Amino acid sequence: MDVLRSRREVRAALAGAARPIGLVPTMGALHEGHRSLITRARSECPTTVVWIFVNPRQFRAADLATYPRDEAADLVMCRAEAVDVVFAPPVDEVYPAGFDTSVRVGSLADRLEGAARPGHLEGVTTVVATLFGVVGPDRAYFGEKDAQQVRVVRRMIADLAMPIEIVACPTVREPDGLACSSRNGLLTADQRAAATVLYRALVAGRDAWRDGERSADALRSAVRAALAAEPLADVDYVSCADDETLVELTTIEGPALLSLAVRLGTVRLIDSLTLA
């Protein structure tokens, strides 16, 4: 496995590589959710590339400073999964002096995470577009865990006619339902126990939908009621939106995305379920 640090090395290593090239973009601190993306890429692509980069453009400074990093453990996982190339560049290799381009998707990126974390999704699309330019993948693997992110990246690919297939992979959860996340390790024991409320609340909403409830407000209320039972959970938003456009719904008539963002102390977690 090659561990590469520069754009030039990656281009050289991938020139003539067997195609399709599958790319898994990550911010490291790899867990079972990341592993599922890597395994899927490995099973579908003769060349698998994992990108590990904590992108400063998608964080506020305080969040960036505390974001978990463990490159040694990440490389162990990548080797175990028979990854061909790990691209783990320093910041100035991704954003060299003079870098002056931003990629911003429109209204799809203004909702939910875009509204709650201004600039976040623009940071994501800018770095992903840059990465796609360096690696030239045929397929890129993203998690449904970041449901809006995968939809926004798909929009960018379509609009900019990038010849890349986006593969969305299901959310991997801990046995108690909490979605695997690099941020889970930042939770105290009490917060970790409380964090199970995210999935429970989404399931409460989905259960109401399965019982025939089609009012989006009623579903949001069901989710909020479940969250209210956990005093450590500070709700950022609860959304019931069209699965494709992410526009908030009044009545559910087609596929919908039930999603939420919750703070436990300083740690902000997101999760979602598709109703379809």
Binding interface with ligand AMP (CB under 6 A): 26-27, 33-34, 36-37, 142-143, 145-146, 169, 171-172, 179-182
Catalytically active residues are 34
Nearer to ligand AMP, 182 or 259 (CB): 182
Pick from 36, 96, 106, 91: nearest CA to 59? 91
The whole-angstrom separation of Cα 174 and Cα 261 is: 18
Dihedral Cα 5, 6, 12, 17, nearest 10 deg: 50
Q: How far is the CB of 17 from ligand AMP (least distance, A)?
A: 22
Nearer to ligand AMP, 10 or 172 (CB): 172
Nearer to ligand AMP, 30 or 134 (CB): 30
DSSP string covering 245-271 = T-PBPSB--S-EEEEEEEEETTEEEEE
Q: How far is the CB of 235 from ligand AMP (least distance, A)?
A: 20
Q: How far is the CB of 27 from ligand AMP (least distance, A)?
A: 4
Nearer to ligand AMP, 70 or 236 (CB): 70
Q: How far is the CB of 26 from ligand AMP (least distance, A)?
A: 4
DSSP string covering 157-207 = HHHTT---EEEEEPPPB-TTSPBP-GGGGGS-HHHHHHTHHHHHHHHHHHH
